[in-house]
Chains A and B, each alone.
Chain A
Amino acid sequence: MALAEEEAKKALEEGEVPVGCVMVRGGVVIARGHNKTNERMDATRHAEMVAIDSLVEEGGDNLWAQQLLAGCTLYVTCEPCIMCASALAMLGLERAVFGCCNDKFGGNGSVMCMHESDSQLRAVGFASYQVRAGVHEQEAIELFKKFYARENSKAPVPKR
C-alpha cells in the first residue's frame, strides 16, 4: 500500500487527481501506475488502467483476458471506479485492496459491485474477485485534501 501511495504522490506532483496503484503477484510487484487523465487528455487513464497497459505493453502470452491478472492483488489508494472495477473483473484479478471509498463512481461497493459478477456478467467474461476496503484510508484522503486545496480552494473535502 505504501508503494501505491508513492504512485499517488507522483500524480499529485504532476497536477493529476492523486490516485496510485501497484499490482502484486507472488510477492512481486509486476506493475504500477498513477492517474494520467490530464496529461493524456483521456478520462480513461486511471491508475489501474495505466498499470494494466504497462502489463500489456510487456506482452507475454497471457493476453487472453481472464489470465492477465490471474493470481494478482491490486493495491490502490482509492476504490476503483465502475470502469476500472469492470476491467479488473474481465482480467481475472484475485483481490483488490483499497484505501478510501469512491462515493460517486465506486465499482467495488460504493455505487455498484462489479467484483460480484452475476450469471449474466459471467456469461460475457466477467469474473468475481475479493475486495478489502479501508487500508491506509486516512493517507489516501490526505492526498485528496492536498490536491483539492491546491487546485481549487472552494472544492469540498472528499467525503470519508
Chain B
Amino acid sequence: MPPSSRAEGRAHGGLPTEQEAMERVDLRIKVEDLELMPVLCASVKPKNASKMIEILSKNLPIPELRYLKRMRKRNDAAAKSGGKAEPELVAIIAPPDIFSRQVLSHSMATLETETQDLIKQYCDSMFEEEVPSFAPNTREQFDSWSKIWPLNYRPPAGGMKVLLGFSQEEIERMKAYMRRATALAVEAVKAGDGAAAAVIVDPTSGEVQGEGVDVAMSGPLCSPEIPSGAQRNDDARKKRHPLHHAAMCAIQKVAAMQRESQLVNVTSKRKMLLQQVDSSDGSRDETVETAQKDLVNEGPYLCTGFDIYLTYEPCPMCAMALVHSRLRRKSLNHHYEVYKGLLAEEVKESITSAFSTT
C-alpha cells in the first residue's frame, strides 16, 4: 500500500495541526507512527538459507515489501533456550494479501516441482509474524523499527533528517510571512493586479529580501527595478510586463537590492582604500582593482539559502527561476524543498473576499 493512501485512511482526532495541514510536495510522504502487519513466515535451517533466498526472490518476489529483509535470525526466547547449536532463521514467505494457504498453494502450483517440494517442507510449520507495514521515512524510524524486523533503508531524496520537523516557533514565523504574502495579494487584487504574491526571506536574519505581486496579466505595475522603499505610485515607472509574475518580481527585487548594497559597499571601501594607498607608496590602480574584485565576491550570492513564500504554486518559468536563483539550495544540483498548504484556507478566503469587494 502506498504511504499516501494509508495517510488518508488514518483517522485524526480533532482538527489537524499546521504540521499536518502543510505538506512537503516533492516527496509526498509524511512521518508516520509505526504500524505493524502480519506476514506469513517459516523457519529455515541455516544450511538451506541461501537456496531458500534464491527460490523466494525468484519465484515469490514481494516488491511492495522491498524495505524488509527477506530473512532474519530467530530471536525469540524459545529458540535461545532450546540450546540448538545453530540458530534457526525466519523467512517471509508471503505478504498479507495472499494470506491464506489456499492462495499460496495455488500460486505454488505454477512453480517447478523441485521448488514446490522445498517450500512444502516449510509450509506445515508456517506462522505469522508482525512486521512494519511501510518503509521508514527517517533514520530514527529505521533504527527503531529494525529491532522488530531487519530493514533495508533507502534515504528519501531530502536526506535523512526528520521531514516537516518544524518547531512551533518556526511554524509561527512561516505563518507570518505567508500572511504578509496574502496581504500583498489582497492589496494587488484591489489595485487590479493578479492574486499571486511572493515574499523572499533570509531565514538566518528573518529579513524580507524581496517581494512581488503578479503584474503580468492586468493593471499597471510597479516595476521591480524600483528599489524597495521607493514610491509605489510613481506613474512614469509603472508598466505592464507579461512575464512579471510574483516570483519573478520578487527575485528581481532581491537582485536590485543586492546591486544597490554592493554599490554602496564598493564606493565606501574604494574611498577607504584610496586613502590607505595614498598614504603608502603602493601602486594605486592595481591595489584598488584587486580589492574591488574581492568585493564582488563578498556578500550574498543570488538568493542562496533564502526561502520564498507564495500564495499560488509557481508556473514552470518561475519554478525554474527559483532553481537558477538557488533558493534554499540543498546541493550543487540546485534542489529546493517545497511545502504546500500553509494557511491554505486563510489565503483563499482573503483573496476571494478581496475579489468580491473590488
Residues of A within 8 A of B264 (CB): none
Q: Is the CB of B324 within 8 A of A90?
A: no
State whether B251 touches A44 (Cβ < 8 A): yes
Q: In the complex, how many residues of chain B place their beta carbon closer than 8 angstroms to a beta carbon of chain A? A: 28
Chain A residue at smallest Cβ distance from B247: A44
Residues of A within 8 A of B241 (CB): 53, 56, 63
Question: A68 at the A/B interface (Cβ < 8 Å)?
Answer: yes
Asked if B325 CB lies within 8 Å of chain A CBs, one says: yes
Give the total of A residues in contact with B, Cβ under 8 Å. Answer: 30
Distance from B107 Cβ to chain A, minimum over Cβ atoms (Å) = 41
Query: Which residue of A is nearest B318, CB measured?
Result: A83
How many residue pairs link A and B with beta carbons under 8 A? The number is: 76
Q: Mark A99-140, 1 if CB is under 8 A from B, else 0.
A: 000000101000010100000010010100000000000000
- Verify if B92 is at the interface (C-beta below 8 Å from A): no
Q: Which residue of B has the minimal Cβ distance to A81?
A: B320
With A42-B251, A56-B241 already in contact, the answer to whether A86 and B259 are too (CB < 8 A) is no
Pick from B216, B258, B318, B323: contact of A65, CB below 8 A.
B216
Measured between C-beta atoms, what is the minimum distance from B324 to chain A in Å? 4
Q: Flag if B255 contacts A42 (CB, 8 Å).
A: yes
Contact of A83 with B242 in the complex, beta carbons under 8 Å: no
Q: Please tell me if B274 contacts chain A, counting CB pairs below 8 Å.
A: no
Question: A43, B302: Cβ atoms under 8 Å?
Answer: yes
Q: For the complex, give the distance between the alpha carbons of A114 and B320 in Å.
A: 12
Q: In residues 45-101 of chain B, which contact A (Cβ within 8 Å)? A: none
List chain A residues, Cβ under 8 A from B240.
63
**Known contacts A42-B252, A42-B255, A87-B317: does B242 contact A68 (CB below 8 Å)?**
yes
Is B259 a contact of A40 with CB atoms below 8 Å?
Answer: yes
Known interface pairs A56-B239, A82-B320; A44-B252 also in contact (CB < 8 Å)? yes
Q: Taking CB as reference atom, which chain A residue is nearest B299?
A: A41
- Flag A41-61 by CB within 8 Å of B: 1 or 0 each: 111110001001100100100
Residues of A within 8 A of B252 (CB): 42, 44
Residues from chain B with Cβ under 8 Å of A59 in the complex? 239
Pick from B243, B259, B316: contact of A82, CB under 8 Å: B316
Q: Are A90 and B255 in contact (CB under 8 A)?
A: no
Residue of B nearest to A83 (CB): B320
Chain B 301-332 near chain A by CB (<8 Å), digits 1 or 0? 01100000000000111111101111000000
B141 within 8 A of A: no
Min Cβ gap B296→A in Å is: 8
Q: Given A86-B315, A114-B316, A43–B242 Cβ distance below 8 Å?
A: no
Query: Smallest distance from the beta carbon of A91 to chain B beta carbons, Å?
Result: 6
A43-B251, A83-B316 known, 17 other contacts, Cβ within 8 Å: A43-B302, A43-B321, A44-B324, A56-B239, A59-B239, A63-B241, A63-B242, A82-B316, A83-B324, A86-B316, A86-B320, A90-B243, A91-B242, A91-B243, A107-B320, A114-B316, A124-B315
Q: Would you list the 8 A-B pairs with minimal beta carbon distance, nearest first? A: A42-B255, A83-B320, A86-B317, A43-B324, A82-B320, A65-B242, A86-B316, A43-B325
